[in-house]
Structure 1
Amino acid sequence: MEVPPKETTDAGDTSTINLESKAASAATTTDVIEKASIGSQQAHTPIPMSKARRIVVFVSLALTMLLASLDLTIVTTAIPKISQEFSALSEATWIATAYMLTTTALQPLYGRLSDTFGRVPSLIVSIVVFIAGSAACGWAQSMGVLIFGRALQGVGGAGLVALVFIIISDVTSEEERPAYLGVLGAVWSIASVIGPVLGGVFSEKASWRWAFLINLPISGVVLVIVVFFLRLPQPQGSLWAKLKKVDFLGSAVLIGAVVMLLLALTWGGKNFPWSSARVICLLIFGVIMLGVFLLIEWKTSADPTVPIPLFRIRNVSMSVLGQFFMGVGMFCPMFFIPIWYTIVKNAGSITAGLHLLPYLLSISLVSVASGFLVVKTGRYRELVIFGTALFVVGTGLMVLFDENISSGKQIGFMVIMGFGLGLNIQILLIVVQTAAPTKDMAAATTLFLFMRILGSSIGVAAMQSIFQNSLLPKLGVLVTQYPAFTMAIMGSVNDQSLIYTSGIPDDIRSQLVHIYVLALRKVFIATVPFAGIAFLFTLPLQHVPLRANFKPLAVGE
């Protein structure tokens, strides 16, 4: 359905006449906005492709998204078996951390790399690197090799996620893109559900190595489809000319900043005290390097990894900043709800993961439905605001989770939260892509994805710290009351099954469970403000008609 161009925006937005009048008194600002708006003033023309070829390409992109999404969660239930085989429990956290570091740090780079070297070559390299990392993990004979393989997987995985969304924006019009993105959102949610289940099944019924080796045949199919069916325009110029365009300095500084910040947040309160020199130095130098990166992008880089003028466009800046806070809120339930079921309901790791189904299935179904609704109506601003408000309500209701909550309320609260998230998880990307200039479309897309994964990484690390800081002192008090059960009580921090398998008397167990519930409640309470801030960032959004002739407003207009 084609949405007709509009002369005005929603209530509360400034008209074109007002924008022109402001230009007289703010020439510099408007000049930046006009330059940034060139791409969005022209209707995006998708790359011509037959219907059959488009279906094949989209299936390959969906499989690519499945691969990247599975790899985030499939190892969670395999880690105990892995650490047991290598006798390296102290190093087990690096199985997840190595992937997180490389995926987050490299996410913004793929936008500009694909602009410079082409989408297809960049995607092929990402798939090959991902295959190499998966093979290294699957056949690893030591924990060191496995961790290296996970880092390599992250390098490829960052490209897989980024390039799927970038290529979708190339081969679809703005009018039809929401439906495609909605389906990709469903793929992500489904992968999040089946990932822990597959990891547990492989670990218990076959071998944990299959959690990584399963990537090889799927990646092979995707690689064949990409090589033989995906035909996209290739940037012109010599290899040397392309290399000179790459923002090596800015990219290196950004990678360093992200790695330092994430290491500090991962180690703080867990491996080292927050007051330790190691954690403090990582935080300080990480922030300094982030500032240096922004200065490089603003002043020195001719073709920056993150074009600073994008932040002058209201819809882009509000969306990417809101996505950071949304990232905190959307991943914390996936991490802590299974812990709640393990502790309160004595659920195994696989069963606890399955309890996330109401949350993730509601995200999947609503994500698909919202995509088609945007295609049908051409409207998305209202859906984003309503969805984020609903997500705030859902996160607030999670505070009511206690030992006595009914199953109906458990499911209902998760559905509300998932419903709200499903309404905006992919539509906000439409907001960014519709407002960003065509030449910066890839950079804007990867910036959006980077802010989401950065928010989720920082959020989970911060919430883990809140959880442990609330939990450990209370466990210490319980140990002084019942010293005979010290090993079981303190051991439950790393192995919650000890709450039910170590012979703790019922009255002590109920106190122990209550301590965990109170600690989890503090996590859920801490999540609410982040969701609330994300909601506030949606309010200034303006409705940019899809495929319309439109100039975005600047921040503050």
Structure 2
Amino acid sequence: MSPPSPATSTAASDPEHLYHKSLDHDDNARGRPFWLAFVAVSMCTFVSALDFTAVPTALSTITADLRVTGDSIWIVVSYGIASAAILPLSGRFADAFGRKPVLLTAVVLYFVGSIVSGVASNVGTLIVGRTVQGMGGGAMLNLVQIIVADLVPLAERGTYVGMLACVWAVAAGVGALIAGSLARVAEWRLNFYLNLPLAAIAFFLVSFCVRLQRPAGSFGKKLSQLDILGNLIIISGTTLLVVGLTWGGMRYNWTDVHVLATLIPGIVLLGLFFMFECCLSIRPSIPLEAVDMRTTISGYIATFFHGVLTAALFYFLPIYLQTSKGLSALGSGLLLLPAALVVAMLAFVAGTLVKVLQVYRWANMVAGGFSLLGFGLLSTMTADASAAQWVGYQILAAAGLGLGFVATVFPVLAPVPVTHTASALSLFSFTRAFAQTLGVVTGTIILQSQLKSRLPSELNGFFTGHVELAHAAIPLIAGLADPLRRQVRVAFADSLKLVWDVMLGVSALGMLPGVLMREVRMERVTDDRYGLRTGSGSEVQAHAQSSEEKTPLRSAFGAQQTEHSSTSSSDGTPQPQSRPRWGGALWVQLASLLFFIGLFFESISM
């Protein structure tokens, strides 16, 4: 093991040096090594975001080619479950083994999953490939956030978070366009093959351009830092909950034993995970300091609602365009570009303004307002809606999503000590990925229940057994004669109206976290254990950089704020302040999830 470099050793022993280093390192950290690393992680973001819209856009073509009936939703959901479930574990791996090895492993998983998905000859193989791909894609996005947090203090991070959100949004728009083009020529497999050279480029860039410190210690010692039991609990709970919801809407009645035997244990296991992390785990994946403050909890709840809305817009708008408006997959992909571009622009604007103003509450409230307006207008769309309506409405909704992409991360991280950044970001990414999966699942179930009663009996006669009606019907609509074709298009528009109504309710709930959160001073320090490598040593045992004591800020809306994250001990190591823990805050997240599920059940009973 190489000894720490002199610069690192000095930093570890001198908290004041650490603090001033974090403030005055622009010439070094923003030089060539930083920008090379940033380009590399941006490429990872681009690769992992491509399939977010590509697969939903081409799903009807995929299901027709593979003759998929009731399992088509799992082509999308398997990716989401794997992506969400791997996130807490990826954060702990990154703390124990370093950021770069975990990111490279994620790229390899994504590469392998893309190969399996591309060569799949049946839906089972495709779902396996999408699961592996989801593990890699989720871990990639998480590690990108963590690495940027290691390199840029939170107070200066807004612009960079906005740039990454731009990359994500552009990739989502390009993915939908490419998928539509390939679906038109029935070459949907190229969507997955296209990932291979891009993932290879990302692997190359990370290998040679990302030069980070990594923690010292033996393999066994690093392995002991992992919260294996906690991660098994959350993986099991996440999977069972989503399986139960999917079965209840697609395959069985809600009172069927198959549904109850998965749905109830899934909810119980998620609650057990929070209890285990609070009370029993020696090295929790989610330290209590990362989730026990009002502002942090508000940020997670805002992230949850934002994830649901993002998935709903980018998944169900193509269905509306391909069914009610009669557009091809290419046409629907092209008409998702306005939303993607608005998300990119507003995310960058929000990040820049947060950096300049050093406050974030306004961005969360404005994001909620745009989402409320956009989804409210989407809920009024009929089969006869004009192009100006469905383009304009999606732009308004996308404006809220773009602001929310950046705004939600700051209340999550501002009150948290920098030593817990990786854990907090892992939970943040998990919340977003899990919410996106729930957004797809719940919206699909609502749409399915509505189509069963609204589609003309002449079309329903084409389907037998457990069939996901939306994507099974899309290839048939163009061949129908009027007035049957007109009736089907109206049925889809009216059925989707309830999906938009539910998302309108979610948008309204998404306004509340912005009201509840407080402005907390954002740190101007980073965790020096994982920063750019500046000397010959590659392994360090340095302390984290000290965190200055936070002082109350006056929010943009006038209320004085009092939350603090940490103070510094004599050796410069961040120490939590002596204040009562709000362990019950963990249960607020579970309560929010249960409330959302209750809203969903209320909608499908209408």
TM-score range, shorter-chain basis? 0.7 to 0.9
Q: What corresponds to 1:182 in structure 2? A: 162
Distance 2:162 2:30 in 1: 21
Deviation at 1:96, TM superposition (A): 2.2
Distance 1:78 1:415 in 2: 22
Q: How does 1:99-498 map to 2 (within 5 A)?
A: 99-140=79-120, 143-205=123-185, 207-475=187-455, 478-479=456-457, 487=461, 493=470, 494-498=472-476
Cα distance change, pair 270–42 in 1 and its aligned pair in 2 (3 A): farther
Give the root-mean-square deviation of aligned CA atoms. Answer: 2.7
Deviation at 1:91, TM superposition (A): 4.7
User: Do the aligned residues in 2 keep the contact of 1:310 with 1:436 (CA within 8 Å)?
Assistant: yes
CA deviations over 1:252-272 (Å, ceiling 9, x no partner):
011000010111122222122
Distance 1:390 1:342 in 2: 25
Q: What corresponds to 1:14 in structure 2? A: none
User: Do the aligned residues in 2 keep the contact of 1:42 with 1:547 (CA within 8 Å)?
Assistant: no
Q: What corresponds to 1:514 in structure 2? A: 490
Q: Count how many residue pairs are aligned between Structure 1 and Structure 2.
A: 510
Q: What corresponds to 1:499 in structure 2? A: 477
Distance 2:460 2:91 in 1: 52
DSSP-derived class of the 2:474 partner: coil
Distance 2:442 2:258 in 1: 17
Deviation at 1:284, TM superposition (A): 0.5
Distance 1:254 1:43 in 2: 40
User: Do the aligned residues in 2 keep the contact of 1:391 with 1:531 (CA within 8 Å)?
Assistant: yes
CA deviations over 1:145-198 (Å, ceiling 9, x no partner):
333222111111121010000001111122321111111111111222121322
Deviation at 1:221, TM superposition (A): 1.8
Distance 1:288 1:495 in 2: 36
Letter in 1 for 2:252: F
Distance 1:512 1:454 in 2: 32
Gaps of 5+ in 2: 1-14, 525-548, 552-562, 565-580, 586-606
CA deviations over 1:384-424 (Å, ceiling 9, x no partner):
21221221121111112113333223222222211122222
Partner residue of 1:545 out of 484, 497, 521:
521
CA deviations over 1:129-156 (Å, ceiling 9, x no partner):
2222222333445544333222111111
Which of 117-126 and 195-204 deviates more?
195-204
Q: Name the one with the larger helix percent.
A: 1
Letter in 2 for 1:499: I
Cα distance change, pair 43–317 in 1 and its aligned pair in 2 (3 A): farther
Letter in 1 for 2:22: T
- Residue 25 of structure 2 corresponds to residue 45 of structure 1: no
Cα distance change, pair 80–399 in 1 and its aligned pair in 2 (3 A): closer
Q: How does 1:55-74 map to 2 (within 5 A)?
A: 55-74=35-54
Distance 1:157 1:264 in 2: 24
Which of 440-449 and 452-461 deviates more?
452-461
Gaps of 5+ in 1: 1-37
User: Do the aligned residues in 1 keep the contact of 2:109 with 2:135 (CA within 8 Å)?
Assistant: yes
Deviation at 1:228, TM superposition (A): 1.9
Distance 1:525 1:93 in 2: 21
Letter in 2 for 1:389: G
Deviation at 1:425, TM superposition (A): 1.3
- TM-score by structure 1 length? 0.85
CA deviations over 1:322-381 (Å, ceiling 9, x no partner):
211222222212122112222222101221222222222111111111212222222322
- Residue 508 of structure 2 corresponds to residue 532 of structure 1: yes
Deviation at 1:308, TM superposition (A): 2.8
Cα distance change, pair 164–97 in 1 and its aligned pair in 2 (3 A): same
Deviation at 1:79, TM superposition (A): 4.1
